[in-house]
Structure 1
Amino acid sequence: MEALSSFVGWVNGVVWGPPMLVLILGVGLFLQVGLKVMPIRKLGMGFGLMFKGREGTGEGQISPFNALMTALSATIGTGNIAGVATAVFLGGPGALFWMWMTALVGMATKFCEAVLAVKYREQDEEGNYVGGPMYYIKNGLGSKWAWLGVLFAIFGGIAAFGIGNGVQANGVAQVLEVNFSIPTWISGVALMGLTAAVILGGITRIGNVAGKLVPLMAVGYISAGIVVLLLNIGAVGDALGQVFTYAFTPWAAKGGAAGAAVWLAIRFGVARGVFSNEAGLGSAPIAHAAAETKGPVNQGLIAMLGTFIDTIIVCSITGLAIIASGALDVAVADFLANGDKEGFSAISGAALTSLAFETSLPGFGGYFIAVALSIFAFTTILGWSYYGEKCMEFLFGVKVMLPYRLLWIVAIYFGATADLGFIWLLADTLNAMMALPNLIALALLSPVVFKVTKEFFASNGQSEEPGYKAAE
């Protein structure tokens, strides 16, 4: 196991090296410029379409709103609580700035992913709409690029068990054991039962659950986070100052040790940003392809909100709460005295966020984070079960769906009781391997997105009619 862990660690260092970070930010920036910063300029329009999208107006299985909630169910998870904490601890406060940059360019990436997902989606043998990177690679780039779609499907089907299953189940089990003394095996069994009740009903049931649970949990967490920031309002200005300052200058923790270079701020900010909002990963468009939408651009404008809500709003609240409350200083001092910061794990990250909330809301904050993380992680398990399933369906057809769902349910127990360090490392590595085929496809198909988007706005949004479906 040690040898395997070392090998995965080496691969992780390669795939998350400078080339990958440049590729993620570079492709996102290229798309943002090509769209003339439209995703940022039309943010208000996106929110308007989201609220109108509670009822579907075209072909598909779920409403545009529920498609976004399904995508958000998969992105708002441990990355928003534990991932942000690990980023600001290991990379310094400046890591939050690079998470923001990842999100701002990621809005363009997410927009393009959804546009292509709807434009090139298909119907499977059961009449359900399916789409995502593997389909827009196959239908948009042609047969000579088919191997790239196959690679994405393989990486996605396997990666789902890491980022969407093992990491989430383990996070729930650990936080419930620490805060409520619930044995990890009990948490694992409970999660298996709850997950089975939802995912065996397919995307319609997942969408319905996500459409109700995600808004509730997001509003609850954001509200509690705002209270924490208000209670520390005097330190918020300094916290923001640290974020901008240490994005470009080396951050040295008090005492001079545990310092983080600017590179680490960028590395952890971008990596955890992608882990959290999944822009460029290629996962969210799989959900948006099932939307009952007027057309590609309509759904793209809704899809880009996922990145904004996840990172600019939710992750910002977590990061600023950790810095402004003084929890980051406490954690750094503790590690300077007692431990090696490189051993900082995801459960430590959740504990750091818990400390920030508990310090500000004694007797409530810590328990609130435990419950919030559990709900966030549960919805992530639901969303990613669909992503992984569709990747496998692309490779083997609809016959694989039920076996995959059953395997997914069983894997939750092992994820809940396994060693998190290796699971987190594996998930982080597979994330990058998923992103590569998708980012290549986005760059090659960008002219299609630019053309469709230009036509849409030139016609004042009338170029897409209900029932739109691209030719296969």
Structure 2
Amino acid sequence: MSDLQTMLNSLVGFLWGPPLVALLGGGGLFFLLYSRFLPYRHLGQSVRLLLRKADDDDPGQLSHFQALSTALSGTLGMGNVAGVALAIAMGGPGAIFWMWMSALLGIATKFYTCTLAVMYRGKDSAGEWQGGPMYVIREGLGEKWKPLAIFFAIAGLLGTMPIFQVNQLVQVVRDTLAVPMGLANEQFFLFELGFGLVLAALVIVVALGQLPRLGKVTAVLVPSMVIGYLLLTLIVLLMHANEVPAAFALIITDAFSGQAAAGGVLGAVIITGFRRAAFSNEAGIGTEAMAHGAARTREPIREGLVAMLGPVIDTLIVCTCTALVILISGVWQSADANGVTLTALAFQKLFPIGGAWILALLVSVLSMSTVFTFWYYGSKCLGFLIGAQHQRHYVWIYAVLVVCGAVISLKLVVSLIDSMYALMAIPTMTSALLLAPKVNAAARRYFAAREALTSDSSGS
């Protein structure tokens, strides 16, 4: 395990270097400029589209709201609770600033990648319409690019394993329940194993219901967990409102000095921010495109507009709230804890009466919704590789991975997922950059049709 950890650390260091950050950040900037800031100009319409009812004959399986909820359930998970703590621990407060920058650029990236996911939907081996980077590459770039599509599917299959979410969920439950119960160290493994088996059973129940059930589950879980978590953080921040400006100032100043962590190396702080932002909002990674590609719509631009809300909600709002709580608490400077335990310590210090229990409940919902969605992503990647008729068997493999995630090392988990996210970004961003002119042409047609319809309505 030690040798594997060392190998993965080296791989992460190589993959998450300046070239990949340039691809994600530079690609997002290109999309923003190339679209003439279209995503920012139409954020209001994105919100309105969430309430639009799909036509009965529209292709796809999910409504706009369900598609966004499903995509958010994959991003509004541990990346917003444990991922932020990891960012601060690894890159200091300044890493949060670069998470913000990544999210601002990610708005444009998601508009392009998720528009393409609907524009270039393809049929799987069972004849069902599917979306995602592997189909965008196959249908949009042609068969000669299929090796790149296979490359994404393999990285996606490994990158959407549930081990990080389950690992952190078990950790927070262990800290909340097992430690106060006074369990001995040798009993922790049995506790983690038993909890992992229960989680695996829940995953099987939801997964056997396929995507419609997943859409219904996430449409309920995601809004409730966002509201609940934001209420908890807002209560804490209001109780310490006088310290919030200083926390913001620390984030901004440390973003350009990098003195609090990473040995004072600014580049390391920037890379840490972009890496954790990718885990938080997944802009340019490609997983969210698989959810939005299943939306019931005939208009690709419409789904791209809805998808833009993802980075705003999960990184600019939820991650910021988590970061402020951790920084105000001061535990990031004094505690050796990492991941979700660091976040739990912050809430426990600032909200001592029941804070840890409330956080454990919310984290359970955050984690499980992500685990459910990652099953869907992984099954679609496997279906692309070996045939959709075989992807139903993935649920049993996935259940085993859930149990493994309950007992595996956090450092090993983070290194593995970071590596796969980096590999997934390469085909996703490459295809989006090559097909960007197609998106611009479709956007011109879409908004011209809307303007004509508005003119006709006002004229009549």
State TM-score, norm by structure 2. 0.92
Unaligned runs of 5+ in 2: 179-187, 454-460
Indicate conservation of the 8 Å contact 1:69/1:214, yes or no. yes
TM-fit CA distance, 1:69: 0.5
- The equivalent of 1:435 in structure 2 is 425
Indicate conservation of the 8 Å contact 2:236/2:351, yes or no. yes
Alignment of 1:444 onto 2:423 = no
- The equivalent of 1:468 in structure 2 is none
- The equivalent of 1:156 in structure 2 is 156
Distance, in Å, in 1 between the alignment partners of 2:451 and 2:75 is: 28
TM-fit CA distance, 1:10: 0.9
The alignment's C-alpha RMSD in Å is 1.8
Distance, in Å, in 1 between the alignment partners of 2:318 and 2:220 is: 18
- The equivalent of 1:193 in structure 2 is 201
TM-fit CA distance, 1:38: 1.6
Change (3 A) 1:274 1:462: farther
- Per-residue CA deviation, residues 254-297 of structure 1 (Å, 9 max, x unaligned), is xxxx7543222211111000011100000011111111124101
TM-fit CA distance, 1:229: 1.1
- The equivalent of 1:263 in structure 2 is 267
Distance, in Å, in 2 between the alignment partners of 1:32 and 1:70 is: 25
Indicate conservation of the 8 Å contact 1:132/1:286, yes or no. yes
Change (3 A) 1:322 1:216: same
- The equivalent of 1:170 in structure 2 is 167
TM-fit CA distance, 1:391: 0.9
Alignment of 1:279 onto 2:287 = no
- The equivalent of 1:38 in structure 2 is 38
- The equivalent of 1:470 in structure 2 is none
Change (3 A) 1:180 1:150: same
- The equivalent of 2:312 in structure 1 is 308
- The equivalent of 2:324 in structure 1 is 320
Alignment of 1:402 onto 2:402 = no
What is the DSSP-based 3-state SS (H/G/I as helix, E as strand, rest coil) of the residue aligned with 2:283?
A: coil
- The equivalent of 1:369 in structure 2 is 359
Distance, in Å, in 2 between the alignment partners of 1:88 and 1:176 is: 22
TM-fit CA distance, 1:57: 6.9
The one-letter amino acid paired with 1:405 is: V
TM-fit CA distance, 1:124: 3.4
**Candidates 215, 218, 223, aligned match of 1:207:** 215
Distance, in Å, in 2 between the alignment partners of 1:211 and 1:55 is: 19
Indicate conservation of the 8 Å contact 2:121/2:132, yes or no. yes
Distance, in Å, in 2 between the alignment partners of 1:296 and 1:457 is: 12
Indicate conservation of the 8 Å contact 1:97/1:244, yes or no. yes
Distance, in Å, in 2 between the alignment partners of 1:387 and 1:13 is: 26
- The equivalent of 1:467 in structure 2 is none
Distance, in Å, in 2 between the alignment partners of 1:333 and 1:365 is: 20
Change (3 A) 1:48 1:287: same
Change (3 A) 1:159 1:290: same
- The equivalent of 1:94 in structure 2 is 94
The one-letter amino acid paired with 2:397 is: L
Alignment of 1:238 onto 2:246 = yes
Indicate conservation of the 8 Å contact 2:153/2:384, yes or no. yes
- The equivalent of 2:136 in structure 1 is 136
Change (3 A) 1:317 1:12: same
TM-fit CA distance, 1:363: 2.2
Distance, in Å, in 2 between the alignment partners of 1:127 and 1:462 is: 36
TM-fit CA distance, 1:113: 1.1
TM-fit CA distance, 1:145: 1.2
Alignment of 1:63 onto 2:71 = no
- The equivalent of 2:183 in structure 1 is none
Alignment of 1:27 onto 2:24 = no
Indicate conservation of the 8 Å contact 1:239/1:320, yes or no. yes
Of stretches 439-448 and 258-267 in structure 1, the one that deviates more from structure 2 is 258-267
TM-fit CA distance, 1:252: 3.4
Of stretches 359-368 and 404-413 in structure 1, the one that deviates more from structure 2 is 359-368
Distance, in Å, in 2 between the alignment partners of 1:78 and 1:421 is: 15
Change (3 A) 1:376 1:288: same
Identity %: 40
- Per-residue CA deviation, residues 442-472 of structure 1 (Å, 9 max, x unaligned), is 1111111111112211222779xxxxxxxxx
What is the DSSP-based 3-state SS (H/G/I as helix, E as strand, rest coil) of the residue aligned with 1:402?
A: helix
Indicate conservation of the 8 Å contact 1:91/1:260, yes or no. no
**Candidates 344, 361, 365, aligned match of 1:354:** 344
Indicate conservation of the 8 Å contact 2:91/2:258, yes or no. no
Distance, in Å, in 2 between the alignment partners of 1:369 and 1:55 is: 39
- The equivalent of 2:185 in structure 1 is none
The one-letter amino acid paired with 1:383 is: T
Distance, in Å, in 1 between the alignment partners of 2:57 and 2:247 is: 44
The one-letter amino acid paired with 2:399 is: I
Alignment of 1:228 onto 2:218 = no
Distance, in Å, in 2 between the alignment partners of 1:54 and 1:372 is: 31
Indicate conservation of the 8 Å contact 1:61/1:128, yes or no. no
What is the DSSP-based 3-state SS (H/G/I as helix, E as strand, rest coil) of the residue aligned with 1:241?
A: helix
Distance, in Å, in 2 between the alignment partners of 1:461 and 1:129 is: 30
Indicate conservation of the 8 Å contact 1:187/1:416, yes or no. yes
Change (3 A) 1:250 1:407: closer
The one-letter amino acid paired with 1:177 is: R
Distance, in Å, in 2 between the alignment partners of 1:419 and 1:334 is: 19
Indicate conservation of the 8 Å contact 2:171/2:340, yes or no. no
TM-fit CA distance, 1:125: 4.9
Of stretches 393-402 and 428-437 in structure 1, the one that deviates more from structure 2 is 393-402
Indicate conservation of the 8 Å contact 2:286/2:424, yes or no. yes
Distance, in Å, in 2 between the alignment partners of 1:108 and 1:459 is: 22
Unaligned runs of 5+ in 1: 336-343, 464-472
Indicate conservation of the 8 Å contact 1:53/1:65, yes or no. no
Distance, in Å, in 2 between the alignment partners of 1:274 and 1:54 is: 30
The one-letter amino acid paired with 1:333 is: S
Change (3 A) 1:455 1:117: same
